[in-house]
Chains A and B, each alone.
Chain A
Amino acid sequence: MENFLEIRDLVVEYTQNRDTVHAVNSVSLSLGKGKTLGLVGETGAGKTTIAKSIMRILPDVGARIVSGEIWLDGENLLEKTEDEMYDIRGSKAAMIFQDPMTALNPLMTVGDQISEVLLLHNVKDKKEAMEKAGDMLEMVGIPRERYVEYPHQFSGGMKQRVVIAMALACDPELLLADEPTTALDVTIQAQVLDMIRKLRDKLNTSMILITHDLGVVAETCDSVAVIYAGQVVESGTKEDLFDHPAHPYTKGLFGSLPSMAVGEKRLHSIKGLPPDPTNLPTGCAFWPRCPYATDACKGDSAGGAPGISGREITPGHFVRCLKEV
């Protein structure tokens, strides 16, 4: 296995009041050791579901990984037993959650919450774990005396730093950062991102960064995958995507960024709304919003869509579109 993380044809569904939500539809991704992959897409596109599938922490009720393979360091995580997963979660792969306000247990001191993960994996002795948790707090810029304080005594930015300290406590080889800065204000965002980047480089961690923010992707990632309606519509290196976007959706995303140079009056947007995941359009999921859509994009009567399965336009740059660039 050349890649550290390789996801193949992952399909995840949620069941809700007898409706099936097609959250992730045959997603394939790969990530090298020490590299960072950005997952970009609208809310509800399935980004968080992909990350939770890797950790296998999707909710028990309603969520189901239908098919696919997730290879981490040569092992298929989807074939592991729950007991084997306990040793991977938090230690080999760790996750930073989106909302720091709710990601911490309000009834436990922040220090104990960091020690908890240490005691589960690296450290046997309680004293040593407290010592190490104190080190982690200092690493993210929180004085170690605040070990005994509770989450309600921390600000949002500090809580997110605690969450980051918790995720990095056991030196994970894979870090899943699920919109780590969305809930923070802009100045704190820059600090937190900077810290994540430094820690990643120090520990040579591979990272998947989930975000809406293309600026963050440009600063942080090596490669990018654009997710739309549970599918990777375009993926490639950061340069491929930023300089030569091929899929109409990716182009639309970049087109939505206001340009400071031109002095525009109105913001551009992609027309329409993301499709209802319980009832995806046949063929290409994007055709109802796509300015270039043709009859071929709508799929055939059987619901299939010949040709819309992804093409490699330049080495390593994949796009799921019929249109020739």
Chain B
Amino acid sequence: MGRYVIKRVLWMILILVAAAIVVFTLMYLVPGDPAELLLGVEASEEVLAAKRAELGTDRPYLIQLFDYLYHVFLKFDFGDSWRYRVNVMTELGQRLPRTLIIGGFGMILNVVVGTVLGIFAATHEGKWQDSLTMVIAMVFVSAPSFWVAWMAIILFAQTLMWVPPSGISTWTCYILPVICGSLGGIAINARQSRSAMLEVIRADYITTARAKGQREKVVVRRHMLPNAMMPIITGVGGGLAMVVAGSAVLEQVFSIPGIGQYMLSGVNQRDRPVVCGCVVFFAAFTSIAMLIMDLCYAFLDPRIKAQYSSGRKVK
């Protein structure tokens, strides 16, 4: 098991390096001179040259790339934002908690509400409770999150005035983003867990458990749910990766200075250190989420655990 984790972490480093190279190259290929973008077209050639030397953009591509990789992976320094002169790492550290609050609470809601709804629908298969749950889930799967967010702002912030429409001044500001951010995930998870539950609901070992005289509630909790967990974890793991990477839209709608918004502004301003820093950070976060997900599989299923420890090839 330990060896498996080490192997996965080594792979993760490789993935991060690859992500850094790709995004750095893409940003390098973006047309336009960064110095000119920063100083405007009227700046004199000497000033521009001085700026280029300061940013290091006058050097050849490969030198710039290796310099960047060296700083990121050996000194853990993403560099300073070209526009704001603030260290990217510092800025990420400041913004991360806001994104994580929204994403984290969203995930908790997603797992708890989504799974419970899925179980509810599956155990009432074919009845009206099932159909109603699935119709509502379908609506929220299909509705784009920014639209849901706007509608929620109009209703709860403007009309009813229960919560502020945007900003981060009080904790109530987080209520709408958390709910709007989790609705889509809840709906997807509810559908996922319903079908996962229906897969196992007719399994022979469920009949065995019933034949033992086990109470129906315990059968659901102890026998069905653990066996239905695999697809649910897969869905939740994907959602976990989206916590950070998918935060841009909601943060934009609710004007929350989080990581997603940071990257968007970086992209708009061709701020290479910001964009590269954000993407590498997203890649790291996603890889860790996936690793946790795979460890959850092993924790839940002794067959997968046996596979990991015996060192056999994992698909």
Pair A152/B212 contact, Cβ less than 8 Å: no
Closest to B208 in A: A103
CA distance in complex: A105, B209 (Å):
9
Interface size band for B: 20 to 34
Pair A166/B126 contact, Cβ less than 8 Å: no
Q: Total number of A-B contacts with CB less than 8 angstroms?
A: 77
B211 proximal to A (CB < 8 A):
yes
A299 proximal to B (CB < 8 A):
no
B131 to chain A minimum Cβ distance, whole angstroms, is: 14
A249 to chain B minimum Cβ distance, whole angstroms, is: 29
B54 proximal to A (CB < 8 A):
no
Pair B213/A87 contact, Cβ less than 8 Å: yes
B223 proximal to A (CB < 8 A):
yes
Q: Which of A57, A82, A87, A163 has the most CB of B within 10 A?
A: A57
Interface positions, chain A 93-119, Cβ under 8 Å from B, are: 94-95, 97, 99, 102-108, 116-117
CA distance in complex: A90, B211 (Å):
6
On whether A89 and B212 interact (CB within 8 A), knowing A102-B203, A107-B227, the answer reads yes
Residues of A within 8 A of B203 (CB): 102
B125 proximal to A (CB < 8 A):
yes
CA distance in complex: A39, B215 (Å):
29
B15 to chain A minimum Cβ distance, whole angstroms, is: 31
Q: Which of B202, B205, B211 has the most CB of A within 10 A?
A: B211
On whether A99 and B213 interact (CB within 8 A), knowing A106-B301, A106-B303, A107-B301, the answer reads no
CA distance in complex: A152, B304 (Å):
11
Pair A89/B210 contact, Cβ less than 8 Å: yes
CA distance in complex: A107, B229 (Å):
11
B172 proximal to A (CB < 8 A):
no
Pair A152/B213 contact, Cβ less than 8 Å: no
Interface positions, chain B 209-239, Cβ under 8 Å from A, are: 209-216, 222-223, 226-227
Cross-interface CB contact of B226 among A85, A102, A107, cutoff 8 Å:
A107
B297 to chain A minimum Cβ distance, whole angstroms, is: 11
Q: Encode B99-137 as 1/0 by CB contact (under 8 A) with A.
A: 000000000000000000000000001100000000000
Closest to B210 in A: A57
Closest to A85 in B: B213
Binding site for B on A (CB under 8 A): 52, 55, 57, 59, 61, 82, 85-91, 94-95, 97, 99, 102-108, 116-117, 120-121, 150, 152-153, 163, 166
Having A105-B208, A106-B205, A163-B208, one finds 17 other A-B pairs with CB under 8 Å, namely A61-B125, A88-B213, A89-B213, A94-B211, A97-B207, A97-B211, A103-B207, A103-B208, A104-B208, A105-B227, A108-B222, A108-B223, A116-B209, A116-B212, A120-B213, A153-B306, A166-B212
List 27 contacting pairs A-B, 8 Å CB cutoff, sorted by A.
A52-B207, A55-B210, A57-B211, A59-B202, A61-B126, A86-B214, A87-B213, A88-B213, A90-B211, A90-B213, A94-B211, A97-B207, A102-B203, A103-B205, A103-B207, A104-B208, A105-B205, A105-B208, A106-B303, A107-B227, A107-B301, A108-B223, A120-B213, A120-B214, A121-B213, A152-B303, A166-B212
10 nearest A-B residue pairs (beta carbon)? A90-B213, A89-B213, A90-B212, A102-B204, A117-B212, A105-B205, A150-B302, A95-B211, A103-B204, A57-B210
